Amino acid sequence: MATSKLFGAAEESNSPSESPPPYRRFGATLYCGDFLQVSAEWPSPTVIIVDGPYGVGSFPGDPVSHEALAEWYRPHVARWAERSLPETTLWFWNTEIGWASVHPVLVEHGWEYRSCHIWDKGVGHIAGNSNSKTLRRFPVVTEVCAQYVRKVKVGTNGSAMSVKEWVRSEWERSGLPLYQANAACGVKNAATRKYLTKCHLWYFPPPEAFESLARYANEHGNSQGRPYYSLDGTRPATAQEWARMRAKFHCDVGITNVWREPAVRGEERIKDAHKSVHMNQKPLRLLEQVIVATTDPGDVVWEPFGGLCSVAIAAANRGRECHSAEILPEYFAAARDRLACHATP
């Protein structure tokens, strides 16, 4: 089984026999160990929230340069791809150069870029900490969080094609003229224009429209080619099955791709004798925002690199099931205590 490249103390202190057992509360399960080893039995995710190495040497195991990141992440990216569904969204947190370095590996494994979000921590993040006389660049107060979805391929008999190509190809296979898609959907001309076009103005047919196209093609199309619009080769797909062929996205009004939020402080910051336990703790507000945007209650969230398992807390607050891995026993213990003390969501 593949394992991550480990560095320093983590390698020695993390033999399976020493690992504490998984900890469960509020639908969240925390595992102590390498994500690649502990995730084999996790249910497939609706969303994966990745906040792993940044290539800045900020925790044991974080490479000291972004140049090492692409190869570090490769086995992880492959595993996320292998275990994901057509509806899975991936959020990838990093520095801008760290993300740029890993992007080609994500694309290679079928992750399709959707958008890049800037976490702006504000000038307060560097207040009193930067000497403009010696700096050779402007102080950095941002991280990025890039959104990816699956590049979905459909088709039986080994003829995998994009969803867009398949919707048109099934209609063509039925022998019906393109304009008849409008009658199928009960509209004047929108169905042919939106769902069967080859151009960039194509729309993913909403589940009801898909069901109408499928019903019409199967009732009126050439009887020899049936079933049309089938995902399993035996019957037309249902509206519900079709809805799961793309990533979920609930777009709240007023949210843009710039997220202004100070670094975690106050009550939310986990401390040990006044010292932050983990330098990379993410704000719950931002994590809840991405969870709510790309899942529904009850869906499965993955947190491959837990730290203090902020994603698990955010998922619990929003009624989602979460599976988190943290490789370092010290951080795992802190995350477990955090979840154990968390007030009922």
Ligand X SMILES: C[S@@+](CC[C@H](N)C(=O)[O-])C[C@H]1O[C@@H](n2cnc3c(N)ncnc32)[C@H](O)[C@@H]1O
* Cβ atoms 5, 72 nearer than 8 A: yes
Q: Could you give the CA distance from residue 325 to residue 49 in angstroms, rounded to a whole number?
A: 12
Phi-psi region of 111 (alpha: psi -120 to 50; beta: other; left: phi over 0): beta
Q: Could you give the CA distance from residue 314 to residue 212 in angstroms, rounded to a whole number?
A: 38
Pairing of strands 47-50, 300-303: parallel
CA-CA distances (angstroms) from residue 297 to 43, 96, 319? 15, 31, 5
**Judged by CB under 6 A, does residue 98 bind ligand X?**
no
User: Which of 320, 331, 336, 339 touches ligand X (CB under 6 A)?
Assistant: 331
* Cβ atoms 23, 339 nearer than 8 A: yes
Among the listed ranges 166-174, 245-253, 291-299, 307-315, the one in contact with ligand X (CB under 6 A) is 307-315
Give phi and psi for 146, each to the nearest 5: -95, 140
**Judged by CB under 6 A, does residue 29 bind ligand X?**
no
Q: For residues 261-290, which are near ligand X according to CB under 6 A?
A: 278, 280-282
**Closest approach of Cβ 125 to ligand X, in Å?**
16
Instruction: State which residue has the least CB distance to ligand X.
Output: 307
User: Which of 14, 94, 310, 317 touches ligand X (CB under 6 A)?
Assistant: 310
CB atoms within 10 A of CB 153: 14
**Closest approach of Cβ 126 to ligand X, in Å?**
19
Q: Which two tokens stand for residue 272?
A: 């040990």
CA-CA distances (angstroms) from residue 332 to 19, 33, 216? 10, 9, 55
User: Which of 27, 45, 55, 61 touches ligand X (CB under 6 A)?
Assistant: 61
Among the listed ranges 11-19, 177-185, 192-200, 301-309, the one in contact with ligand X (CB under 6 A) is 301-309
User: Which of 101, 326, 336, 339 touches ligand X (CB under 6 A)?
Assistant: 326
Q: Could you give the CA distance from residue 171 to residue 312 in angstroms, rounded to a whole number?
A: 44
**Closest approach of Cβ 53 to ligand X, in Å?**
6
**Judged by CB under 6 A, does residue 52 bind ligand X?**
yes
Among the listed ranges 78-86, 165-173, 225-233, 322-330, the one in contact with ligand X (CB under 6 A) is 322-330
User: Which of 26, 29, 30, 51 touches ligand X (CB under 6 A)?
Assistant: 51
Give the x/- contact pattern for ligand X in 151-170, rule: CB under 6 A.
Answer: --------------------
Residue 53: partners with Cβ closer than 8 Å, 6 or more residues away: 61, 62, 63, 69, 72, 73, 98, 305
Residues that bind ligand X (CB under 6 A): 4, 34-35, 51-52, 59, 61, 278, 280-282, 305-308, 310, 325-328, 331
